[in-house]
Structure 1
Amino acid sequence: MPNYLIDTTQLKCDKGTSPTPLTVTSQSFMKIEGKLQATEEDKQSNTNIKPFGMCSVLKSSCMPSPIKWDNTSDFEIEGKKELLDSSTCQCSVGGKISVVKSAQSFVEE
Structure 2
Amino acid sequence: MDEYFSYDERLGIPIPSFKVDWDQFSKKIQQSILFQWEKIRGTIPDRISELEKLINVKQDQLSDEENFIKSCELNSQISELASIINDLWLWYRTNQDISEKVHM
Higher strand share: 1
Which structure is larger by alpha-carbon Rg, 1 or 2? 2
- Normalising by structure 1, report the TM-score: 0.23
More helix by share: 2
